[in-house]
Amino acid sequence: MRWPLAARVSLSSPDLKLHNLYSERDERVLFAGLSLSVSAGDVVQLAGPNGSGKTTLLKILAGLSSRYEGDIHWRGENLITQREDFRQHSLYLGHGSGIKAQLTALENLRWSCAVRGQHVADTDLHRALTTVGLGDFIQQPCYSLSAGQQRRVNLARLFCCPARLWLLDEPFTAIDQRGVAEIEQWICDFADNGGMVLLTTHHPLSLPRPLRRIELGRT
């Protein structure tokens, strides 16, 4: 599998750098003084109990939340000035379904690529859906798919939207045993190709490459 990396840059400096990040919710501190550098090839697992701010951190990074203090740098520049470039090179999979139930898997995927400003040929979309194991369900409306299959439709975006950074919020939800191993493999392949992954999961990851764990909720 060849990964659609948007661009390759030098591996010397970290692409994503968090410095002294602070966030609170309902007057409860989620994390404070959080610093983290992510460079090409890094896989970072955000761990911590429920409500410790894992999703909030991913949302802050994705640009969906502005409830933080501190600095985030993307490719050496402040993220606020680099939003457009960051959005082009990052792919966020939240824990919502991310698909319209009344549309087919193919239509959903086509739309997801289109809002990122990319026209992807139908054959490539077919290939992406086949890769996530939905080859036989391409023309079915998503409401007739199981929860795990719907999740896979969302995951298929990983294979047709070029990105350098994946932000995955609980990617293993509703996915079967074999699927979990598959996703781990995709993450691995992606990192091998110079991609960066930040993910939250309670699932013990078994990756054949070094994994960094950031514990949240221990302030």
Residues at the contact surface with another protein, assessed by CB under 8 A: 4, 62-67, 84-85, 87-88, 90, 92, 94-103, 107, 110-112, 114-120, 124, 141, 160, 162
CA dihedral sign, ordered 167, 4, 181, 96: positive
C-beta closer to another protein: residue 45 or 55: 55
SS3 state of residue 76: coil
Question: What amino acid is encoded at 139 in this protein?
Answer: Q
The nearest distance, CB 204 to another protein, in angstroms, is: 26
Q: Is 36 left (phi over 0), alpha (psi -120 to 50) or beta?
A: beta
C-beta closer to another protein: residue 134 or 160: 160
Q: Residue 119 is encoded by which pair of tokens?
A: 């026209």
The nearest distance, CB 58 to another protein, in angstroms, is: 11
Q: Residue 217 is encoded by which pair of tokens?
A: 């909720």
The nearest distance, CB 103 to another protein, in angstroms, is: 6
CA dihedral sign, ordered 155, 206, 169, 76: negative
Whole-angstrom distance, CA of residue 188 vs CA of residue 175: 18
- The distance in angstroms from the start CA to the end CA of the chain is 41
C-beta closer to another protein: residue 46 or 93: 93
C-beta closer to another protein: residue 40 or 109: 109
Helix 147-155 and helix 105-115, axial crossing angle in degrees, nearest 10: 30
The nearest distance, CB 165 to another protein, in angstroms, is: 12
Relative to beta strand 212-215, strand 90-93 is: unpaired
The nearest distance, CB 12 to another protein, in angstroms, is: 25
The nearest distance, CB 139 to another protein, in angstroms, is: 13
C-beta closer to another protein: residue 120 or 216: 120
Name the residue among 87, 8, 81, 72 with its Cα closest to residue 37. Answer: 72
C-beta closer to another protein: residue 37 or 97: 97
